[in-house]
Every structure is written in C-alpha cells, then in structure tokens.
Amino acid sequence: MRYLPLTDSDRRAMLAGIGAASVDDLFGDVPAQALDAARFDDLPNHETEMAVERRLSALAARNVAAGSVPCFLGAGAYRHHVPAAVDHLIQRGEFLTAYTPYQPEVSQGTLQYLYEFQTQVALITGMEVANASMYDAATGVAEAAAMACRITRRKHVLLSGGLHPHYGAVTETFLRYTDITVERLAPDPMGIEDRVGRVTGNTACVIVQNPDVFGRLADLTALAQECHAAGALLVVAVAEPVSLGLITPPGAMGADIVVAEGHAIGSPLTFGGPGVGLFATRQKFVRHMPGRLSGETVDEDGRRGWVLTLSTREQHIRREKATSNICTNSGLIALAWTIHMSLLGEAGFTRLARLNHQKAVALVERLERVPGLTVVTPAFFNEVLVRLPGHDAAGVVDRLAERGILAGVPLSRFWPTWPELADGLLICATETNTDDDVAALVAALTEVLR
C-alpha cells in the first residue's frame, strides 16, 4: 500500500512498545455499540474513484434535501436563506489567512472580521463584551457553566427542562470528571417548571433557553433577580439567533452570560452543522471568559489596526490551569456570520426576524384548524410545539416524509424513553416557507390525523 508505509513488523514493534496486544486494545474505552456502528460493513473496502462516486451519489439520492421539499424542521438547526454574496466573500484573500492567529497581528483581515463579529454578537445579545466565537452553542453552554463556577466559586449548576437536551448532555459530559454537580430538570413542554427552592447558596448558575426547546418565549427578568439575590448567575442560551432581531435581548433581562448558536446566519442547513458558538458576558467577567478577544488599536503611524487583546497563555501550554481547553474557534463560520449580518444591517436583521414571526403566526392560525391537533406553545417566535393525541408523532413525520413534506421534529427524537411526549411535534416556519408549503403541510396533516 503506497500510502501506508508501516509494515506488519513495524506495527508489532509499536504495539509491544506500548504494551498492547492488538490495535483493538487502543479502542477499549469506546463502547462496543459505537464501534459496531462505525464499521460500515455494508460498504466495500476497496473501489475505484468512479465507483466510489457512483456509490456515494446513490446513497445521497436516498436523502430528502431540506431545500427540495416543504421543510418545517427546527429544534436547534434552522433553515434560512443565505445570500450568494456570503459564499463569494468568504473566499477573498483578505480573510483566507491563518486559521488560528498564533502570530495574530500578521492576520489583519482575520482580526478585523473577528472584531466586527464580536461587536455584532454583543449588540444583538444586549451584553457588553463577546469573544471571537466557540465551537457551537452546546460547548458554549458547557463553558458558561464552568465560567460561572469560577466566578462564584460554587459547584452546583442547574439546567432548565426547557434547555435543548443536546446542550444539557454536552454540559454533563464536559463537567463529568470535575467536582461540579450538574442538575437537569425534567423536560417541561407545558411550561410549569418549578424552580422554587432549587437556587441555593451553592448554586453557581441557572441555565435556561429563550426561546426554549419547545418554542416558548419568556420574560426572564424575575428569574435573573432570583438568581442574583442568591448570589448565582443567569446563563441564557439561544438556539435561534434570528429571534434576537425582534425579542428583548437576554442582557436587557438581566442575563450574566449569553450563549447562542450562530449557524442559522451565514451557513446552510447541511445536516445541522458545522456550528459557531456565540458567547457574550458582562465587562466585569471578561477575565473569566473562555476564548479570544480581538481589539482595535492604532500603529505607530496612527493608522487603524487590530490586535489579539486577550488570549491566555494557559490555553496553549498549561491545560490544568486553563480558562478553557478548547483552544480554537469556528473561524470560517464566524466569518460567514459576520458577512451575512453586515449584508442585512440592523434594519434588515429586524425585518428578517419580523418576517419569521409573521410566517409562524400564519402557520399556527392554519394548524389550529386541523382536527386532532393542539397547538401548545402560547408565546413563540418561529417555532411551536403541537400535540397529536392518539398518534405517534414520529410515525406522522415518517408518513408526511413519504409525501415529500418534512413536517418537523418529534419530541421522541430527544426523549425516546418518555412515552408521555410521544405525541409531541416541533414545527418551525422561517422566511423560506411559502404559502404553498404551509397549505401542503396542513392538507397532509389533516389527512393523516383522520
């Protein structure tokens, strides 16, 4: 094998050197179920390039692309129109510089767009300072929990039942081998979550989502006051960044840390990724914030320039003392975000948000007339929870997919062991949905729910 220079004897020598009997021993910590799923036994081991292209094209053709049919998917990954200019501008030479700016001042294009990115994130979240991005919202929530524990010197994190379950799972995994306790409340589709008595003198932060995973909007002002009275911080996660063009920003409601998933702006849906985590906080907490900060300055001739204002050395060489062990950012997606937001401008961003809400209102008005369907979400942005009594929502989604309609995300996808949620379906409308799309969805639901 010309691309595999090591011989069998080389491999035996290396395995002997580390005390392993076989290569399989190196994967001993990986669950057997995960290993079995990664073997792809139904694919051939060797094929020509043309044969591989044909095989993969045939597999891809079995998918229903979100842009090819009426699509009402949401639940953390939202489909919005991305102007063609975004794809063109991210390829300009000014921005195609070093991915991670270890010698940052050389990469003025990178630092400038990161500075603009930070400014945009701070503005829409209502916060005082934002970093140069995280991997995604899920890791951002985990980082926010750790940051709150550093600030308060407490060890208890409370996660709302309305927080996206993926965000909660990543936070639990991230903090599993620390002395921090993570408490996740049960899923709360009806909006009656009881937090009374749960915010104690050991609580570092309460983490909520707005709109939450069930589409509900809430005024978080009272919760922020409750947290602050107990000496805890309020962390607000936002899965749909377009909502920040219309609703009261978390910072104005008293949030101490805001984390958001930026993927919906600047990037196509592409199976839900890659993402870009938006992370913003108050100025007084900036030294506890993970990631990097790009700042504006002038050179010795008075010309405007940009520098890496904050990047703790411990991130790179002293992991046990690090503010964060995630030592990079989603640079390309952050650039796409910045360009898209710049093209929209403040007025355009607000109009986009208002259009999303109008689309959702029109959808809900039609859904409320479908027999056998109940709209649960009382206050929403562009996504609602509906219940289909007597029906399995996942089965309904499958039947509508056969008709060429992506109807939404069933709650059972996130909570498969909760039978009381099996009839729940999340349906989202964005500016990409036409009146014909809505009519097709309503007609298909009416037929299937008879």
Which pLDDT score is estimated for 244? 98
Which pLDDT score is estimated for 100? 58
Asked whether residue 317 carries a pLDDT value surpassing 70, the answer given is: no
Asked whether residue 102 carries a pLDDT value surpassing 70, the answer given is: no
Residue type, 59: L
Mean pLDDT of 411-421: 95
CA 30, 36, 38, 39 dihedral sign is positive
Please state the φ and ψ torsions of residue 108, each to the nearest 5 degrees: -65, -35
- Which residues are bridge partners to 238 per DSSP? 260
Which pLDDT score is estimated for 104? 67
Which pLDDT score is estimated for 99? 57
Mean pLDDT of 372-377: 95
Which pLDDT score is estimated for 377? 94
Give the span between the Cα atoms of 42 and 56, in whole angstroms: 12
Least confident interval from 37-51, 68-82, 94-108, 397-411: 94-108
Peptide bond into 274 cis (omega under 30): yes
**pLDDT-based confidence at residue 313 (cuts at 50, 70, 90):** low
Q: What is the dihedral of CA 74, 78, 79, 83, to 10 degrees?
A: 170
Mean pLDDT of 138-144: 96
Which pLDDT score is estimated for 40? 75
Asked whether residue 66 carries a pLDDT value surpassing 90, the answer given is: no
**pLDDT-based confidence at residue 32 (cuts at 50, 70, 90):** confident
Mean pLDDT of 149-164: 96
What number of helices (H) and strands (E) belong to the chain? 12, 13
- Please give the full DSSP string across 164-192, using - where no structure is assigned: -HHHHHHHHHHHTTSS-EEEEPPP-TTS-
**pLDDT-based confidence at residue 327 (cuts at 50, 70, 90):** low
Asked whether residue 147 carries a pLDDT value surpassing 60, the answer given is: yes
Asked whether residue 93 carries a pLDDT value surpassing 90, the answer given is: no
User: pLDDT, tens digit, for every residue of 117-127?
Assistant: 999 999 999 99
Asked whether residue 396 carries a pLDDT value surpassing 90, the answer given is: yes
**pLDDT-based confidence at residue 312 (cuts at 50, 70, 90):** low
Give the span between the Cα atoms of 106 and 55, in whole angstroms: 44
Task: Please name each of the domains of the chain with its CATH number.
Answer: 66-81+346-448 (3.90.1150.10), 84-341 (3.40.640.10)
Give the span between the Cα atoms of 273 and 263, in whole angstroms: 7
Give the percent of the chain with pLDDT over 70. 94
The encoded tokens of residue 120 equal 């945009």
For residue 204, which of 271, 142, 141, 153 has the smallest C-alpha distance? 153
Give the percent of the chain with pLDDT over 90. 72
Which pLDDT score is estimated for 309? 85
Asked whether residue 132 carries a pLDDT value surpassing 60, the answer given is: yes
Which pLDDT score is estimated for 253? 97
Least confident interval from 81-85, 177-181, 317-321, 391-395: 317-321
Mean pLDDT of 200-214: 96
- Tokens 């952050």 belong to 334
Alpha helix (H) ranges present in 90-129?
108-125
Mean pLDDT of 209-234: 96
Which pLDDT score is estimated for 67? 86
Beta-carbon contacts of 390 under 8 Å, excluding residues fewer than 6 positions away, are 372, 423
Contact call for residues 219 and 171 (beta carbons, < 8 A): no
Which pLDDT score is estimated for 53? 93
Asked whether residue 159 carries a pLDDT value surpassing 80, the answer given is: yes
Which pLDDT score is estimated for 278? 97
Mean pLDDT of 226-247: 97
Asked whether residue 109 carries a pLDDT value surpassing 90, the answer given is: no
**pLDDT-based confidence at residue 103 (cuts at 50, 70, 90):** low
User: pLDDT, tens digit, for every residue of 266-299?
Assistant: 999 887 778 999 999 999 999 999 988 899 999 8
- Please give the full DSSP string across 327-368, using - where no structure is assigned: ----HHHHHHHHHHHHHHHHHHHHHHHHHHHHHHHHHHHHHT
Could you give the C-alpha distances from 1 to 7, 11, 43, in angstroms and in order? Answer: 10, 14, 20
Mean pLDDT of 423-436: 97
Which pLDDT score is estimated for 2? 62
Average pLDDT over all residues of the chain:
91
Which pLDDT score is estimated for 328? 64
Asked whether residue 258 carries a pLDDT value surpassing 70, the answer given is: yes
**pLDDT-based confidence at residue 108 (cuts at 50, 70, 90):** confident
